[in-house]
Amino acid sequence: MTITRRGAVGALAGAAMLVGSAGAAFAQDTIKVGVLHSLSGTMAISETTLKDTMLFLIEEQNKKGGLLGRKLEAVVVDPASNWPLFAEKARELISQHKVAAVFGCWTSVSRKSVLPVFKELNNILFYPVQYEGEESERNVFYTGAAPNQQAIPAVDYLAKEEKVQRWVLAGTDYVYPRTTNKILEAYLKSKGVKDEDILINYTPFGHADWQTIVADIKKFGSAGKKTAVVSTINGDANVPFYKELGNQGIKATDIPVVAFSVGEEELAGIDTKPLVGHLAAWNYFQSIDTPANKEFIAKWQAFKKNPKAVTNDPMEAHVIGFNMWVKAVEKVKSTDPDKVIDALPGTEAPNLTGGVSKMLANHHITKPVFIGEIKDNGQFDVVWKTEGLVPGDAWSKELDGSKDLVADWVEKKCGNFNTKTGKCGGA
| Domains of the chain, first to last | 13-145+313-367 (3.40.50.2300), 148-289+371-391 (3.40.50.2300)
pLDDT at position 19:
34
SS3 of residue 26 by DSSP: helix
DSSP state of 376: T
Query: Which pLDDT value is given to residue 291?
Result: 97
Task: Report whether 176 contacts 232 (CB < 8 A).
Answer: yes
Residue 15 has a pLDDT of 36
Q: Write phi, then psi, for 231 (nearest 5 degrees).
A: -105, 120
Q: What's the pLDDT at 274?
A: 76
Collect all residues with Cβ–Cβ distance below 8 Å to 133 and sequence separation of at least 6.
146, 147, 148, 179, 183, 393, 394, 395, 396, 402
Asked if the model's pLDDT at residue 227 lies above 50, the reply is: yes
Residues 6 or more apart whose Cβ sits within 8 Å of residue 122? 139, 337, 338
% of the chain exceeding 90 in pLDDT? 86
- Distance, in Å, from the CA atom of 150 to the CA atom of 145, rounded to the nearest integer, reads 6
Determine the 3-state secondary structure of 51 from DSSP: helix
Chain segment 9-18, per-residue pLDDT in tens:
333 333 333 3
Reported as a single tens digit per residue, the pLDDT across 305-318 is 999 999 999 999 99
Q: What does the mean pLDDT of the chain come to?
A: 92
d(CA 208, CA 221): 22
Give pLDDT, residue 226.
97
pLDDT at 14: 38
pLDDT at residue 18, rounded to an integer: 34
Instruction: Average the pLDDT over 284-307 and give the result.
Output: 97
- pLDDT reading at 149 higher than 50: yes
> Which stretches does DSSP call E strand in 78-179?
101-104, 125-127, 140-142, 166-172
**Cβ atoms of 394 and 363 closer than 8 Å:** yes
CA dihedral (260, 261, 262, 263) in degrees, to 10, reads 90
Distance CA(230)–CA(177), nearest Å, equals 10
pLDDT at 129: 96
How would residue 284 be classed by pLDDT, with cut points 50, 70 and 90? very high
Please state which of the ranges 18-32, 168-182, 284-298 shows the lowest mean pLDDT.
18-32
Q: Report how far residue 314's alpha carbon sits from residue 319's, in angstroms, rounded to the nearest whole number.
A: 9
CB distance 378 to 272 below 8 Å: yes
Inter-residue contact 393 to 361 (CB < 8 Å): no
Tell me the one-letter amino acid at 206. G
Residues in the chain: 427
Q: Is 25 exposed, middle or buried (0-12, 13-18, 19+ CB in 10 A)?
A: exposed
SS3 227: strand
- Per residue in 344-376, pLDDT (tens digit) is 999 999 999 999 999 999 999 999 999 999 999
Q: What is the pLDDT of residues 58-115, one digit of tens each?
A: 999 999 999 999 999 999 999 999 999 999 999 999 999 999 999 999 999 999 999 9
The whole-number pLDDT of residue 75 equals 98
Please determine, for residue 426, whether its predicted confidence score (pLDDT) is greater than 80.
no
pTM of the model: 0.89
- Write the pLDDT tens digit of every residue in 8-63: 333 333 333 333 333 333 345 899 999 999 999 999 999 999 999 999 999 999 99
At 166 the three-state DSSP class reads strand
